[in-house]
Structure 1
């Protein structure tokens, strides 16, 4: 069986599955239940200065897929609404009871040196394993000059990170906001400030939907609403891209990453790790399905690693990074075309409709004597866009087949069709 243990910037855990800073990690009761279920670590819900934050009711809304499952989750909840003293006392107790689990504490205080100095010193006394600086919360806190209001300004990210490294001996993880034009700028700033690692992504500014009877966005608070933080499976593609941007950027490629964003199963975790993440953080899946989903995650990752011959996570960590590049370096002479397995085709015509209406008219429809239709690829018209394969409801009925072009590798910077080819 594969070894799932991790050593992330000196923070050890029995597996890479951590609970993200969120409602599931708000108190000792939740965290201990999580550890009993098998989670390798937690990031305690964000602490702030007293008096504690005050939340509203209601706080959550969601987007559902065609099967009724939550695909996107929105919240307008703030940082912990319990006192700093209670949180610190519980953190210390939990860490003593569970010394083999990772316990990182999320923090958010005003952008003042003394405020950060004070709170990191208090957290150090608890025996916690590390700090996570919450520079990503997109609602409620930015209006107070915290959260995303810091994360969107690289100079602030660098300064606060440097303060925390100056006043604490604990590993410092900087949690980045996705509500920014280019994630690399804030990651570079964290790196310059001395961060031991970054975690990403935090939630995305969102309104999940409108109640058309009340004409109010959800969640509704006494007839009004506001934008919140979006997470869940729907944000995974955005998170993977941002993780890859940091992992392959020359200035941050050696900066450890804790991956966050829509991780719901072992495969999601493996994808983040393949792009360089050293551990992953989960929130929405635990809130929707409960803490025991971590057992399925561990078993699935173990089985997959065994099937691939990977003995430890580092065996495949980052392997997808070299294969992720800029569009301009992709091979212009590489060609694939679609192929339909007639034995598997059920004649639904979805591939034909999609291609005929919205793509390249590369599928031919031929009526059959029995009243059914046959669909065939017109190879000379097929551009290999994958649309037919995506719309087909039958697994492996449509595959993309590579065609030999007898041409060498050539990217867009070398292509004669590029009007800027010779511009330095």
Structure 2
């Protein structure tokens, strides 16, 4: 049976599934229930200076798919609204009672050294395993010079990280904001400041939708609203890309990464780990489905690892990183052609409409007796774009079949069609 235990920048955990710093980790009651359910670790909801933050009502909104499935989740909640001393007492007791679980404390303070120097010994005294610097919160706190206001400035990231390394012996994890042009810059800055690891992504600036009768966005606070932090399944592609960018950057390729963003099942977790994450953090899925989802996550990951022959998490960590590259290095001579399985085809015509209207007119609609319809790929016109496969409602009906071209690998830097290709004058 696969071993799910991990060691992340010196922090041991029975499995890679951690709860992210958020409402699910706001107090001892929640965290204990999470540990009882089987979570390997938690990042305690962000602590700050007293007096604590004051939140508004309401706080959440969502984007729905069919059957009211939550695709994206938006929140305008701030850091902890509980007194620092209360949080510290609870953290101390929880760590004492659950010594085998990872317990990280998230922190957010003004961009001055003194507050950091004052709080860090208090965190160490709790017995916590590490700290996470919240440089990503996109709402409420940036207006106070914290959160994303720090994370968007690499010099600030390096400076505060250096302060923390100076004033604590605990591992320092820097949580990065996705609300930035190039996530590699703050990751490099965190490393330069001495960070032991980074975690990402924090939430994405967003307004989910409006009440068009009242002309107020959600979540509505009286007759007004504001932008919030977007998370959930919808942000997973953004998060995967940013994790991969850091993992394959020569400057940060050895920097441990805790992956966050839209993780809702074991497959999501495996993808993050394969692209560079050493642990994964979950929030939205737990808020929507409860703490027991970790049972399926652990079971599914373990079964998949057994099937693939992976004995430990380390066996496939970063395994997909070498296969992730810049566009210019992709093989220009690689070719796939769509193929329709007529036995599975339900004759809905979605592939034909999509290709005919918006793509390459590479699917023929053949009208037969009694106005029957058959759809066939026009091979000479198919560019292998995958649109037909994506629009088809029947899994496995349309597949993309690799073609033997007889041509050797050639990327864009070598392609004679590129006026700046090597050897082209």
**TM-score, normalising length: structure 1:** 0.99
Deviation of 1:119 after TM superposition, in Å, equals 1.1
Deviation of 1:370 after TM superposition, in Å, equals 3.9
More displaced, 375-384 or 63-72?
Answer: 63-72
- State the match for 2:91 in structure 1: 91
Give the secondary-structure state (helix, strand or coil) at the position aligned to 2:46.
strand
More displaced, 361-370 or 179-188?
Answer: 361-370
- State the match for 1:363 in structure 2: 363
**Residue segments in structure 2 that go unaligned for 5+ positions in a row:** none
Provide the C-alpha distance between the structure 1 equivalents of 2:49 and 2:247, rounded to a whole number of angstroms.
33
Deviation of 1:419 after TM superposition, in Å, equals 1.8
Give the secondary-structure state (helix, strand or coil) at the position aligned to 2:71.
strand
- State the match for 2:138 in structure 1: 138
- State the match for 2:393 in structure 1: 393
Give the secondary-structure state (helix, strand or coil) at the position aligned to 1:322.
helix
Give the secondary-structure state (helix, strand or coil) at the position aligned to 1:337.
strand
Deviation of 1:120 after TM superposition, in Å, equals 1.0
- State the match for 2:64 in structure 1: 64
Deviation of 1:420 after TM superposition, in Å, equals 2.0
- State the match for 2:273 in structure 1: 273
Provide the C-alpha distance between the structure 1 equivalents of 2:205 and 2:86, rounded to a whole number of angstroms.
30
- State the match for 1:102 in structure 2: 102
* Divergent runs of 4+, >3 A: none
The 5-angstrom pairing of residues 24-423 of structure 1 reads 24-422=24-422
Provide the C-alpha distance between the structure 2 equivalents of 1:368 and 1:267, rounded to a whole number of angstroms.
43
Provide the C-alpha distance between the structure 2 equivalents of 1:93 and 1:296, rounded to a whole number of angstroms.
28
Provide the C-alpha distance between the structure 2 equivalents of 1:67 and 1:185, rounded to a whole number of angstroms.
40
- The Cα RMSD (Å) is 0.9
Deviation of 1:67 after TM superposition, in Å, equals 2.8
* Residues 214-258 of structure 1: per-residue CA shift (max 9 Å, x gap): 100000001100000000000000000000000000000000000
Give the secondary-structure state (helix, strand or coil) at the position aligned to 1:67.
helix
Provide the C-alpha distance between the structure 1 equivalents of 2:385 and 2:67, rounded to a whole number of angstroms.
27
Provide the C-alpha distance between the structure 2 equivalents of 1:388 and 1:196, rounded to a whole number of angstroms.
45
**TM-score, normalising length: structure 2:** 0.99
Give the secondary-structure state (helix, strand or coil) at the position aligned to 1:161.
helix
Provide the C-alpha distance between the structure 1 equivalents of 2:119 and 2:180, rounded to a whole number of angstroms.
27
Provide the C-alpha distance between the structure 1 equivalents of 2:171 and 2:383, rounded to a whole number of angstroms.
49
Deviation of 1:286 after TM superposition, in Å, equals 0.3
Give the secondary-structure state (helix, strand or coil) at the position aligned to 2:12.
strand
Provide the C-alpha distance between the structure 2 equivalents of 1:52 and 1:15, rounded to a whole number of angstroms.
32
Aligned length, in residue pairs = 424
Provide the C-alpha distance between the structure 2 equivalents of 1:228 and 1:87, rounded to a whole number of angstroms.
25
Provide the C-alpha distance between the structure 1 equivalents of 2:403 and 2:101, rounded to a whole number of angstroms.
51
Give the secondary-structure state (helix, strand or coil) at the position aligned to 1:43.
strand
Provide the C-alpha distance between the structure 2 equivalents of 1:109 and 1:386, rounded to a whole number of angstroms.
47
More displaced, 364-373 or 126-135?
Answer: 364-373
Provide the C-alpha distance between the structure 2 equivalents of 1:199 and 1:42, rounded to a whole number of angstroms.
13
* Residues 344-370 of structure 1: per-residue CA shift (max 9 Å, x gap): 111000000000000000001101214
